[in-house]
Chains A and B, each alone.
Chain A
Amino acid sequence: MREDLSFIELSARERARHLLDDGSFRELLGPFERITSPWLEPQGIVTQADDGMVVAKGTLNGQPAVVAAVEGAFQGGSMGEVSGAKMAAALELAAEDNRNGIPTQAVLLLETGGVRLQEANLGLAAIADIHAAIADLRRYTPVVGIIAGTVGCFGGMSIAAGLCSYLIVTREARLGLNGPQVIEQEAGIDEYDSRDRPFIWSMTGGEVRYRSGFADVEVEDALHQVRAAMLDCLARGVPGQHRSERYDYYLPKLTQFDSRQQADAAVVAQLFTREDRA
């Protein structure tokens, strides 16, 4: 029985395996192929045989699917040239499948701090490719993003999350553009105290992201809940309008907000109540 498994405690590979239909998991560019980062070794950093990215094909409810899962335990789930290219290539091939009449679905497990700074510009370029590929693929089939925890989803990959057709989060998830340390570094401790965990949770935690409409589903940390939510999102089909296309909703709110006020959880709740969304 898989009912009681914690999703968060699973590795990326186990997550992908458990999400796909039983027995359908087939990994592409797996660890035995040893396509590793060419940039880490010269810096004295131990590489990982899969570069921290698991790409698996299989089926979801009997339909062809690909799952790309970031391994948050390797280098903070950061995106290097190889790991980024693996996710981008999977999405590009899924889009090509759809153009060729094969309705391949895609699920992204986003446990990532964003760009791997040791591969800086190639990580950033890979993330741009991922954005391009999501934007392409989501025209044909929903691209479902899942942020479970506990690494969170930050940097350029939070933009990827924002491009997904649907986003599933747990309460333990965090989603934001800039990591707390970087904000504190750039803007000062009065603006953002990176050591104040309850405060950070109240800004970027899974629950507040769901309540304020930046995620579509909040689930408990349980495999069966995550899987059910994923299948439900896929079944909903391509949304009429993606969240990233809703400038007409966001711009007036942000323009009208009295920005002399600093933000807190109550202000966020007031600005983005779920009730006023379509």
Chain B
Amino acid sequence: MSTQTKSRGDYWFSLLTQGGEERCGQCASVRVADGDLDGQAARFIAVVPDADNHYPRAARGEVGLLEGWTLAQVVSEAVAADQNQTQKRAIVAIIDVPSQAYGRREEAFGIHQALAGAAGAYAAARLAGHPVIGLIVGKAMSGAFLAHGYQANRLIAFNDDGVMIHAMGKASAARITLRSVEALEKLAASIPPMAYDIGHYRSLGLLDQLLDIRDPQRATQQELALVRQTLATAIADSRQQGCGLENRLGADNRRSSALVRERMRAEW
């Protein structure tokens, strides 16, 4: 099932939306299609590289000004379309975002606001009863992940070296914390939230599933079926459990997050 695609995100978008109806007219770096999972309607959304991006700092799959606002648009559109439906369509964010866009135009024109548009739209979809699932097939970095995926009811990731979830790339994190990259890596080995590998991330309790995919750029039919089945199950679970994010709070490595809530409630 190898195809010529621009990125892992683009590849998995194409695999999962075969036969679906792709939306046109928006910026080329955001792909959107309506399809189904196990007979349930789903809108699939991916941010993909676009070498000719109108804003060059977002050419490699970064979430920039147009991407943030376009995500807001295509998610809000689904919410509006399903307003009177008893069963809201699922929204599947296919996540492979190396970072937000770093640039002067981006800051000047309010990239923070564009990303707020996206995060707010995903949150609103979840609150309106749409199961929102994040499928992490590559990088899920920082502001880009906050805009595209982190508001999901459920997060599913591939168990693969190319999958990385983090607040900042190593070089920048080292510079900002006045450490060397080597020192940073050494610390990350003993401080789970600082680690760059998916195994440590899993220990934080934020993932619903970790899937073994032998080669995420060359999936077998069985692996595609596994991903589809996992998504369908996550959608069903989300419909049952309501629209909050409490399901992320159980891990021992995140026990302070639960403790703070417990004590705050007692004192409220």
- A residues with CB within 8 A of B: 28-29, 33, 35, 37-39, 42-43, 55, 57, 81-82, 84-86, 88-90, 92-93, 115, 117-129, 131-132, 135-136, 139, 155-156, 158-163, 175-179, 181-183, 185-187, 191-192, 203-204, 212, 214, 242-248, 250-251, 254-255, 257, 259, 262-264, 267-268, 271-272
- Selected contact of B265 from candidates A93, A125, A187, CB within 8 Å: A93
Q: Contacts A203-B108, A254-B66, A262-B104; is A128 near B146 (CB within 8 Å)?
A: yes
In the bound complex, what is the Cα–Cα distance between A163 and B146 (angstroms)?
12
**Pair B143/A155 contact, Cβ less than 8 Å:** yes
Q: Which residue of B is nearest A186, CB measured?
A: B102
Give the residues in chain A near B108, CB-CB below 8 Å. Answer: 203, 263-264, 267-268
In the bound complex, what is the Cα–Cα distance between A176 and B112 (angstroms)?
6
- Does chain A have a CB within 8 A of B107? yes
| Chain B 244-258 near chain A by CB (<8 Å), digits 1 or 0 | 110010000010110
**Pair A271/B117 contact, Cβ less than 8 Å:** no
Q: Which residue of A is nearest B165, CB measured?
A: A121
In the bound complex, what is the Cα–Cα distance between A244 and B119 (angstroms)?
9
- B residues with CB within 8 A of A: 27, 54-57, 65-66, 69-70, 72-73, 76, 99-100, 102-117, 119-121, 123-124, 126-127, 142-143, 145-147, 150-151, 165-169, 171-173, 175-177, 187, 190-195, 201, 204, 206, 244-245, 248, 254, 256-257, 259-261, 263-265, 267-268
Known: A118-B194, A121-B166, A125-B206. 11 other contacts (CB 8 A): A29-B264, A35-B263, A119-B191, A121-B192, A121-B206, A125-B150, A132-B245, A176-B107, A214-B110, A263-B105, A264-B108
**Pair A89/B102 contact, Cβ less than 8 Å:** no
Secondary structure at chain B's binding surface: helix, strand, loop or mixed?
helix
A43 CB, nearest partner CB in chain B, Å: 6
Q: Contacts A120-B194, A271-B109; is A250 near B267 (CB within 8 Å)?
A: no
In the bound complex, what is the Cα–Cα distance between A88 and B206 (angstroms)?
16
**Pair A81/B113 contact, Cβ less than 8 Å:** no
**Pair A245/B120 contact, Cβ less than 8 Å:** yes
**Pair A179/B264 contact, Cβ less than 8 Å:** no
A136 CB, nearest partner CB in chain B, Å: 6
In the bound complex, what is the Cα–Cα distance between A187 and B117 (angstroms)?
24
Give the residues in chain B near A120, CB-CB below 8 Å. Answer: 166-168, 173, 193-194
In the bound complex, what is the Cα–Cα distance between A57 and B123 (angstroms)?
26
Nearest 9 Cβ contacts at the A-B interface: A162-B116, A135-B123, A158-B112, A263-B108, A85-B260, A128-B150, A186-B102, A244-B120, A122-B193
